[in-house]
A and B are shown apart, each in its own frame.
Chain A
Amino acid sequence: MHFNKCSEATRNPNPTPDLNPNLNVSKTMQATYFLRAFTVINSASPTSSTMQRRRSIRRAAYASMARAAGNRRAWSRAVLRRLHRGLCLSSSARRFVIRRRIRVSRPREPGQADVLRSLVPGGKAMDFCNLLEETATYIQCLSAQVRRGRKDIRWVYYPG
C-alpha cells in the first residue's frame, strides 16, 4: 500500500463536521487515494491469494478514508496509527474482548457510548462530546467510501 504523498490531503478540508460543502473535496481525495491504492494492489500482487488482497483492499479503503479526513480527526489518526503498526483493522470484536478484559475491575456495564467508542477508531480516549463529533465525520467518510466502492464494483462489472 503505497500512497503518493499529497500535501493537500494531510490538510483537512473540513475542520468541523458541520462543513458539508467542503466534503466533496475530501470525497474526491478519498476516491483518488483509494483508486490509486487499488491499482497498486492489483499491479503489485497479481499472484497473491484473494484473502490477502481482500485485506489489503480493506486497508486501502480505511487508509484512504483516514487520509482524506486529514490529521485533525482523531479517528483518522487512530486508523493511520493502526495501519502503520500493521495491526488488523477489522478487529472490532477482538478489540472489544480485550477491552472488556481490561475493564473487568470496573463495575460499570459498558453502555451505548462505550459501544460507539469501540466502533469509532481512537474513540476510547475521548469524552462523549468529542466522540459524537468524530462519529459524525467517521460516518461521512464511511458512507463516502461505501459509495465509492459500489461505484467501483459497478464499474468493474458493468463498464459503460
Chain B
Amino acid sequence: MDFNEKDKFVMEKSGAGTSAGGGGGGGGDHLSCQSSGIPSDWQIPLLSMVESFNPGIWNNTTTSSQNLGWTSSEPIPKVPLFLQPVPTGLPPSLSHIPADSAFIERAARFSCFNGGGLSGVVNPFATSEPLNPFSGVPRGVPTAPESELNLADAPPGEHRSQSGGSPMKKHRGKGSLQIGASSSEPGDTDNTNGASQEETSIGEPSSKGILGAKKRKRIINQDVELNQQQPAENAKDDSESKQITESQPTGKAAGKQVKEISDTPKDDYIHVRARRGQATNSHSLAERVRREKISQRMKFLQDLVPGCSKVTGKAVMLDEIINYVQSLQRQVEFLSMKLATVNPRLEFNIEGLLAKELVHSRGCSSSSIGFSSDIMHPQLHSSQQGLVHPGICSMVNPPDALRRAVNPQFAPLNGFKEPTSQMPNAWDDEHHNMAQMPFSTNPSLSTQEMNAKPHDGFSM
C-alpha cells in the first residue's frame, strides 16, 4: 500500500514535471492535464514493472553516480535545455526512481536548475549504456515507470511534448545523483553515499512526500520560468541550486536525511532570480535598445543644435531643440517675407546664384529696388510682431544706433530699409559686416550665430 501511494505521488509529480517541461519547450500546456488524468488501474502494472526493473539497473545507477561525481567538479559547458536529441534512451537511473519518492523529489528540484548543464553529461552516458532496455523512443515501451509510460499511451499528438518531457526526467535522475553526492560530501562521491541516501529516503512516509511534492511543484514552475530567461550564469546557478536543494527538504525535515538542512527561506532566492531575469527579458532588452537609440540621436542633435553641447539632461536639451526649430522656422518665414518684398521685375540668374554659392561671383542689378516702408508695416504687424519694434526703432533712429545693434538678425531688415532712407557709407559697411558674419565658411561659427538669434531677436 505504501508503494501504491508512492506511485500516485510519482504520477502527480510527473504531471508537474511534464508541465514544466512543456512550458519550457514552448508548448504543450495540455500535457499536465493529460498525464494527471491517468486512470488508476495503470498504477498496479506500473508498480510491477518498477519492481521488476529495479534490481537490474541498480548497479548502473551507482556507476553513474560515480561518473557524475567527478564531472560535476569541473566546469560543464551549458547546453540549452531542450535542444538535445530526445530518443537517446532513458538513463538507467530512471528505473529506480519510482521506488523512492524522496529521490524523485530531489531530482525534480535539481533538474530545473542544472538540467542544461548536466545534459552534456547525461547524454553520452545514456547512449553508451549497453544494458539499456529503454533505448529508442520510449513510446509504446511499458517499462518506463514514470511519466514516460503515461505519456507513451497518450494520443499521438502528445508525442512532441513527451519528447520534451523525457529529457527532464533524465536530468532529474542524474541531477539528483550529483546533488546527493556533492551536497553531502563535495569531495567524496562514493557509491555508498548515493546508495545510502536512496535507502534512507525509501523509508520516508509518503504523506510528507506528497506535501513536499506540492511545494516543489510550485517552486519548479517558478524556477523553470526563470531559467528560460537566463541561460547563462552557470556557476551561479549551480551554487544557487545547491542552496535551494538544501533548503528544500524543510518540508520533510523529519525524514532521515543524510545531508544538512538549512532553513533559509526559498522566497529570497526566487526573488533575486526574478530580478535578475528581468534584465534579460525581451521587453527590457528592447527598451534598452530604444534608449540607446534615443541617446544616440540626442547626441547627434546636440552636435546639430548650437549651444546644446554643454547642456546635460534630456529635458533641457529638448527645450533647446524646440527653441532652435522654432527660431529656424521663424527665420525661414522672415526671409521669405523679405524676398517677397523684392521687386518682382528683378531679373534673377539662377546659374549665377548657384555659381556664387561656390565662388564669390557676380550679381544682378539691384538698383531697381523700389519700395516704401509703409508697405512693410502691415506685413510686419501681421506676421512678425516681435520684429516690428526693433524694425521701427531702427527706422527712427540714426544709423549710429544701428551700429550698436550687434544682432545680425536685423541686418537684412536694416538693409531692407536702406533704399528709402539714404544711408551713409558707414551704414553700408556696418551692414556688410553684419551680413557677412553668418555666411562665414566655418559652419560652427554660423550656427553659433544662429543660436544667438532666437534669444536676442525673437524674445517677445
Contacts and interface: CB of A to CB of B under 8 A. Distances in A.
Interface of A: 17-18, 28, 31-32, 35-36, 38-39, 41-43, 45-48, 50-51, 53-58, 60-62, 90, 92, 112-113, 115-116, 119-120, 128-129, 132-133, 135-136, 138-140, 142-143, 145-147, 149-160
A146 B447 CA distance: 11
Contacts of A157: 366, 369, 412, 415-416, 418
Given A50-B340, A112-B315, A135-B301, A149 B354 contact: no
A147 B439 CA distance: 7
A157 B366 CA distance: 6
B42 interface: no
A154 B439 contact: yes
Contacts of A147: 438-439, 446
A116 B322 contact: yes
A132 B450 contact: no
Interface of B: 290, 293-294, 297-298, 300-301, 304-305, 315, 318-319, 321-322, 324-326, 328-329, 331-333, 335-342, 344-346, 348, 350, 353-354, 356-357, 362-366, 369, 375, 379, 382-383, 412, 415-416, 418, 431-432, 435-436, 438-439, 446-447, 450
B332 A154 contact: no
B364 A154 contact: no
Question: Which residue among A45, A62, A128, A146 has the maximum number of chain B CB atoms within 10 Å of its CB?
Answer: A146
21 contacts: A28-B357, A35-B348, A45-B344, A46-B344, A50-B340, A51-B340, A53-B340, A54-B379, A112-B318, A116-B318, A128-B294, A129-B293, A139-B321, A142-B328, A143-B447, A146-B328, A149-B335, A149-B339, A154-B436, A156-B342, A158-B432
A16 B413 CA distance: 36
| Contact residues of B: prevailing secondary structure | helix
A153 B348 contact: no
Contacts of B345: 42, 46
Nearest to B348: A39
B325 A135 contact: yes
Nearest to B432: A158
A71 B346 CA distance: 33
Given A31-B357, A90-B333, A57 B339 contact: yes
Given A129-B293, A155-B363, A146 B335 contact: yes
A160 B344 contact: no
A90 B319 contact: no
Given A61-B336, A133-B297, A159 B304 contact: no
